[in-house]
Amino acid sequence: MKTRIYVTLKSGVLDPQGKAIQHALDGLGFAGVEGVRQGKLIEIDHADNVSDDDLDQMCRKLLANTVIENYRIERG
Amino acid sequence: MKTRIYVTLKSGVLDPQGKAIQHALDGLGFAGVEGVRQGKLIEIDHADNVSDDDLDQMCRKLLANTVIENYRIERG
Task: Determine, for residues A34 and B46 on separate chains, whether the beta-carbon distance falls below 8 Å.
Answer: yes
- The pLDDT, as a whole number, for residue A74 is 97
Q: What is the CATH number of the domain that holds B46?
A: 3.30.1280.10
Chosen from B2, B5, B22, B43 to mutate, greatest number of chain A CBs within 10 A: B43
pLDDT digits (tens, 9 = 90+) for A43-52: 999 999 999 9
Rounded to the nearest angstrom, the minimum Cα separation between B54 and chain A is 7
Task: Determine, for residues A32 and B41 on separate chains, whether the beta-carbon distance falls below 8 Å.
Answer: no
Rounded to the nearest angstrom, the minimum Cα separation between A34 and chain B is 5
Number of domains present in the structure of chain B: 1
Confidence bin at A68 (pLDDT 50/70/90): very high
Rounded to the nearest angstrom, the minimum Cα separation between A7 and chain B is 8
What is the secondary structure of A9-69 as a DSSP string?
E-TTS--HHHHHHHHHHHHTT---EEEEEEEEEEEEEE-TT--HHHHHHHIIIII--TTTE
Q: Domain limits at B28? A: 2-75
ipTM of the prediction: 0.93
**Mean pLDDT of all residues belonging to chain A:** 97
- The pLDDT, as a whole number, for residue B32 is 96
Confidence bin at B36 (pLDDT 50/70/90): very high
pLDDT digits (tens, 9 = 90+) for A13-39: 999 999 999 999 999 999 999 999 999
